[in-house]
Amino acid sequence: MPSAKQVEKRKSQNLCVSCGKVSPVIDRVSCEECLVKMRIRSKKLKKEYLEDPDRCSNCGVICSDKKCMNCKKARMIRIKKKRDERIANGLCSVCGDFTNRGNKRCDNCLQKQRDFRLNKKLQVFKEYGNKCNCCGEKTITFLTIDHIDNNGAEHRRELAGDSGKFCGSAIYSWLIKNKYPDGFQILCANCQLGKQLNNGICPHKQ
């Protein structure tokens, strides 16, 4: 591994910063041979990282998740930049296709998003009984997830994190990720509102 001084010297001499023997590839700082070696080494390391549950699968740093916070932030910055460029050019922020109605997403991506969220919702409802835990209502459109201990607002703030933004489908993702923990139930909108207006107890249960 060349030192910082060696790297600067090789750059000034228009040599590959890795081997210092030949000129680098155009718009890169390394020659083709060194780039190939780096790609091979990178693939080998990534395979090792993927096999180690205690390391970031991208950079290999010790962490408790699949990717460390630095890699997550870097990825989000790249995604946001690409999305903003597409929106500025009147394109779908997801696939880059044209969108005619001024939406940030094309009709196809909007439908995919709706289907994805609905599938997550159905998956969660199946695990929690597929009906209102109070009145037995089964119509999916009416059903919601309820925090049994009335700590929903606190939990939503926790899920929103530093961004302060909370997406309704985030609770379904969280429940799936945490393997459907206790403390949650299905209530219909009627019973949910009744519980909210009646000091945490649905009027049906009085």
pLDDT per position in the chain (206 positions), as tens? 678 888 888 889 999 998 889 998 888 889 999 888 888 877 777 777 777 778 887 777 888 778 888 888 988 999 999 999 998 888 999 998 888 777 888 989 999 999 999 999 999 999 999 999 999 999 999 999 999 998 888 888 888 776 656 667 888 999 999 999 999 999 999 999 999 999 888 898 88
Among all chains, which residue has been given the structure tokens 């609770």? 171
C-alpha separations of 160 from 163, 164, 169, 178 in Å: 6, 5, 12, 16
pLDDT at 162: 63
How far is 149 from 54, CA to CA, in rounded Å? 33
Torsion (CA) 133, 134, 139, 140 in degrees, nearest 10: -40
pTM for this prediction: 0.60
CA–chain centroid gap for 53, Å, is: 19
Tell me, what's the pLDDT at 41?
78
The domain limits of the chain are 1-51, 111-205
pLDDT of residue 90: 87
